[in-house]
Amino acid sequence: MENISRRGLLMGGLAAAAGLVDAAGQPISPGNGHGNGTPSLKHAKGDKNAWDVIVVGAGAAGIGAARRLTDQNPDLRVVIVEARDRIGGRMHTDRTSMGIPVERGCELVHGGPYASTYPWIEQAGFDMRMFQSNYIRQADAPTSSPSSQWHQWDSPTSWLFPLGLPDALIPYDPAGQNLPLPAALPGEMADAYLLRLGVTAANTPTGLNYELTDDSEPLYDTAAARVAAPLRDCIRYTLHPEQAPEPEILDPNDSRYDDGDYKIIGGYDQLLRFIAGDVPVMLRTVVQEVGYTANGVELLTSKGTMFGRRVVFAVPAGVMQRRDIAFSPGLPAAKWAAFDAFEYHDIFKCVLEFKEKVFTPNGTDNWGYAESMDHFPTTLWNASIAYPGYKGQAIVGWETGAAARELHALPLEQKYQAVLEVVRKSAGDPGLQYHKAVMTDWANEPYSWGPYGSGGSSRDMAATVGGVLYWAGMRTSTVSASYSSGVAQADQLLLAL
């Protein structure tokens, strides 16, 4: 096969009504049962490299699509081809590095019982736990200030100004004189705006800081226009504590908390393995080139050529953006424009394992998040909740935005040290040492090229091409969203078959 242009082979094959070549280079005659060169279900059943539907990518989107197709039509021949030697994609449970399974990629079931994947979690009977006790503190506030101590999110302490309410803010009390807060200047950032009002970084209420920076950029990269509303709440509740809302007691079954975060104990990967069931998956099979006509699709892979009546692409937008897969004929300009407009976010995630339970902000190991608002990474979370026999502690260090970029610029060992420093400060023990550390640099991982992101028209990304190429996942940024998009594409494909 080396002497043949792979693209020529692809197009020649399709032009001759799909003269397929198998992994050993032997031609396969697809036949069709109708004498018109149209690949058919009947043909697919007899031919080991010909399928009704080939799904490219064994992540949440691809597995969601493949499972839906086989559930809705058990007669369909469906296969998933996957470049890596494992399923899951950006869901990667590491079962060997530490004493318990830890997640190098996605970890949380956002929304728990309200997630689209929940029916599977329930059916499988997985142990899913909510992060119920979440803590925050302004670590550089004076120790005399309650804000410097770990306190629950939304507790009355989170509204307080660690150094006291600046006098200049009193006229803006919504329950008092109620002057409108000064408008943000063009291009002004949150930290500059707060300083203009006399609120220094060390005197920023933890609740305000958290609300403005959650899953976003630090204050110096946050638009000042977002500050006024939560700042007024802080002024009001500091001056009138009796008006402050009751702190939330998170209840896993209360639909008001459908944005709660949950973990599948024992590893997230159990979920995709369960959903995939007995759908065949070809691992270590990289799709490189695609030729298509209205009759079907020919895939040139690292293991030979395959033929499908339809193909569902469930690879990340970053893979498409890099042109890792070539298409003949080329894809519509609008689709490429959508992929090119997509941007990955900056995400830093690292897991440290300690030999014992080193950080217990509420005196027990049952804490979820711990946010210390003064140093990076800002967020720690507990990766070892609900492992009763486990003596150690696995702690995630998490950062986003500009601060994540700064952390990623460090050599690997310094990345671990940065997280260790935060754990040391959080636990109040400067001598702590970690036992093991792992992280994946998703931006440099082939077959991902980034963690998750946004941008680019999802409609153009998902638009079917030539009646035979379908598109799932791509720019979806959660497991549930990827899974749902796979199901939606499968439903669309089934209608068109």
Ligand X SMILES: Cc1cc2nc3c(=O)[nH]c(=O)nc-3n(C[C@H](O)[C@H](O)[C@H](O)COP(=O)(O)OP(=O)(O)OC[C@H]3O[C@@H](n4cnc5c(N)ncnc54)[C@H](O)[C@@H]3O)c2cc1C
Task: Using the minimum distance from each CB to ligand X, give the nearer residue, 161 or 416.
Answer: 416
Rounded Cα distance, 213 and 206, in Å: 10
Q: Write the single-letter amino acid at 271.
A: L
| 477 lies in the binding site for ligand X (CB under 6 A) | yes
User: Mask: binding to ligand X, 397-436, rule CB under 6 A, as x and -?
Assistant: ----------------------------------------
CB 146 within 8 A of CB 205: no
Under rule CB under 6 A, which residues in 167-186 are in contact with ligand X?
A: none
- Annotate 142-176 with DSSP letters as a single string: -TTSGGGS-EETTSGGGGS-TT---GGGGGG-TTT
Residue 243 tokens read as: 């008006």
Q: How many CA atoms lie within 13 A of 223 on its CB side?
A: 6
Q: Is 80 in the site for ligand X (CB under 6 A)?
A: no
In the list 9, 65, 69, 91, the residue contacting ligand X (rule: CB under 6 A) is: 91
Choice from 28, 69, 106, 271 touching ligand X (CB under 6 A): 106
For ligand X, the binding residue among 6, 110, 345, 425 (CB under 6 A) is 110
Q: What are the DSSP E strand ranges found in 114-260? A: 128-130, 135-137, 151-152
The gap from C-alpha 497 to its chain's centroid, in whole angstroms, comes to 32
Q: How far is the CB of 323 from ligand X (least distance, A)?
A: 11
Nearer to ligand X, 286 or 402 (CB): 286
For every residue of 6-68, DSSP letters joined together read HHHHHHHHHHTT--EE-TTS-EE----SSSSS---HHHHHT-TTEEEEEEE--SHHHHHHHHH
Report in angstroms how near the CB of residue 123 gets to ligand X at its nearest: 19
Q: Could you give the string, one character per residue 50-79, with x where binding to ligand X holds by CB under 6 A and - elsewhere? A: ------xxxxxxx-----------------
Name the minimum Å distance from CB 360 to ligand X. Answer: 23
Distance CA 453, CA 421 (A): 28
Three-state secondary structure call for residue 400: strand
- Residue ranges in 277-411 assigned as alpha helix (H): 317-321, 333-341, 401-408
Here's the x/- map for ligand X, 10-49, by CB under 6 A: it reads as ----------------------------------------
- Of the candidate spans 100-108, 235-243, 427-435, 462-470, the one that interacts with ligand X by CB under 6 A turns out to be 100-108
How far CA 407 is from CA of 64, 254, 413, 426, in Å, comes to 34, 37, 11, 19
Looking at the DSSP bridge assignments, the partners of residue 262 are 109, 130
CB of 75 to ligand X, least distance (A): 25
Stretch of 107-115, 355-363, 365-373, 411-419 contacting ligand X, by CB under 6 A: 107-115
434-473 footprint of ligand X as x/- string (CB under 6 A): --------x----xx--xx--------------------x
Binding positions for ligand X, 280-339, rule CB under 6 A:
286-287, 314-316, 319, 324-325
* Cβ within 8 Å of residue 69, ≥6 positions away: 53, 55, 76, 78, 490, 493, 494
**Does 478 sit near ligand X (CB under 6 A)?**
yes
Amino acid (1-letter code) at residue 35:
G
Q: In the bound complex, what is the minimum distance in angstroms from residue 282's beta carbon to ligand X?
A: 9
Closest approach, Cβ 140 to ligand X, in A, equals 28
If you compute the radius of gyration of the chain from its CA atoms, what whole number of angstroms results?
26
State the nearest-atom distance from the C-beta of 112 to ligand X, in Å. Answer: 11
Mark the segment that binds ligand X (CB under 6 A) among 238-246, 247-255, 373-381, 479-487: 479-487
Q: Which is nearer to ligand X, 162 or 451 (CB)?
A: 451
Could you tell me the smallest distance in angstroms from the CB atom of residue 85 to ligand X?
A: 10
Nearer to ligand X, 137 or 335 (CB): 335
Q: For ligand X, give the closer residue by CB, 198 or 330.
A: 330
Residue 79: strand pairing partners? 54
CB of 116 to ligand X, least distance (A): 10
Nearer to ligand X, 108 or 202 (CB): 108
118 vs 159, beta carbon nearer ligand X: 118
Note whether 310 and 290 are within 8 A (CB): no
Q: Which helix or strand (DSSP H or E) is residue 326 part of?
A: strand 326-328
| Binding segment (CB under 6 A) for ligand X, from list 81-89, 131-139, 376-384, 388-396 | 81-89
Residues in binding contact with ligand X, number by CB under 6 A: 41
Q: Strand 151-152 to strand 287-293: parallel, antiparallel, or no bridges (unpaired)?
A: unpaired
Checking phi first, is residue 261 left (phi over 0); if not, alpha (psi -120 to 50) or beta?
beta
Secondary structure class of 463 (helix, strand, coil): coil
Using DSSP's 3-state secondary structure scheme, residue 87 falls into: coil
Q: Give the tokens for residue 306.
A: 């395959």
Q: Output phi, psi for 80, to 5 deg.
A: -105, 130
Binding characters for ligand X, 188-207, by CB under 6 A (x = yes)? --------------------
For 111, the token pair is 């929304």
Stretch that binds ligand X, among 27-35, 85-93, 204-212, 239-247 (CB under 6 A): 85-93
Q: What is the binding site for ligand X (CB under 6 A)?
A: 56-62, 81-84, 89-91, 105-108, 110, 286-287, 314-316, 319, 324-325, 347, 349, 442, 447-448, 451-452, 473, 476-480, 482
